[in-house]
Structure 1
Amino acid sequence: MKHLPKHLRPRWRYLAVRLDAWPDADFDRRDFQRSVWFAAQNLVGDAASADADLKVLRFDFADGTGEAIVRVRRGHSEPARAALACIDGVNGDPVGVRVVGISGTVRACEEKYLRRDGQFRDERKVVFEDARRSAVVRGDRLDVRTDGAFAGATELDFE
């Protein structure tokens, strides 16, 4: 079977997405893909979400931060961005989803928008709510463990 000519092939856009969650969040590419599909179906309906054809191509998530590349048909970028903005949790874990850029190729998307910040995960002890607790440090953010959950804080909250 022959390939379609170039002018008949579908054209794609690639969304660079950053993910932020609590350090103990545990989900994978399949869970994130399911959340993307459900968000698109709930926002624009079955027919429009099928036409947009959202697919997670690349996914990297560990220690509460991650990034992904989501493929969408050209012309459906804005509804796809809106659908991604509707995601507030993946597999029961609260998550923040932010589209940082749109590109025409996967390579350009990776090079322009998904360079690592050099953030590393560190743990230390802090005093929070008059008690000594452990905190996960990521850049200028601290996630303090409180009674089995986390509370977000910054360096200014401890000075």
Structure 2
Amino acid sequence: MKLKVLPKSQRKHNHYLVLDIKSEEELSKNDFTSIVWDACVRFQGENNTSNFNLWTINLILKDEISFYNEYKAILRCQRDFEDEVRSSLALVNNYNRKSIAISCVGISGTIKGCSKFI
């Protein structure tokens, strides 16, 4: 028997954050995902973070300067929790004893809409 797909009105609604990341160290997608989860758990707690429905969609190396690497990332989170995720990521300032800065450039309801921020 085939599983039924939930109607659109009953699915969780997601928003996509476009992030600008500047790091002294090279990052992989797994490193970035662990940074995001650690920051959210540290600032919001495990119970609240479980509601965020976080997922790293894309991590792109934009520029490699001698002092730091600049990345753009698309991060999925559940609607109505964008502010909590943004505030958690703003508090991250180091990873593996290297400086890192994460700022939110834009928020979109679709991945295609994120392209105007990248």
Structure 1 stretches lacking a partner, 5+ long: 115-159
Give the 4+ runs in structure 1 shifted more than 6 A: none
Partner in structure 1 of residue 81 of structure 2: 76
Structure 2 stretches lacking a partner, 5+ long: none
Q: Does 1:53 align with 2:44?
A: no
How far the C-alpha of 1:21 sits from its partner, in A, is 2.2
Match of 1:6 among 5, 8, 11: 8
After TM superposition, list the pairs within 5 Å mapping 1:79-94 onto structure 2.
79-94=84-99
Bigger relative contact order, structure 1 or 2 (CA pairs below 8 A, ≥6 apart): 2
Q: Provide the C-alpha distance between the structure 2 equivalents of 1:53 and 1:91, rounded to a whole number of angstroms.
A: 25
Partner in structure 2 of residue 31 of structure 1: 31
Taking structure 1 as the reference length, the TM-score comes to 0.66
Larger Rg: 1
Indicate the SS of the match to 2:80. Answer: coil
Q: Deviations over 1:91-120 (max 9, x none)?
A: 44311111011010011012x211xxxxxx
Letter in 1 for 2:21: L
Q: Provide the C-alpha distance between the structure 2 equivalents of 1:93 and 1:103, rounded to a whole number of angstroms.
A: 30
Q: Provide the C-alpha distance between the structure 2 equivalents of 1:52 and 1:39, rounded to a whole number of angstroms.
A: 13
Match of 2:20 among 18, 21, 27: 18
Larger deviation, residues 80-89 vs 37-46:
80-89
Q: Provide the C-alpha distance between the structure 2 equivalents of 1:92 and 1:34, rounded to a whole number of angstroms.
A: 15
How far the C-alpha of 1:5 sits from its partner, in A, is 0.8
Q: Provide the C-alpha distance between the structure 2 equivalents of 1:77 and 1:27, rounded to a whole number of angstroms.
A: 23
Report % sequence identity: 27
Taking structure 2 as the reference length, the TM-score comes to 0.88
- Comparing both structures, which one devotes a greater share of its residues to strand? 1
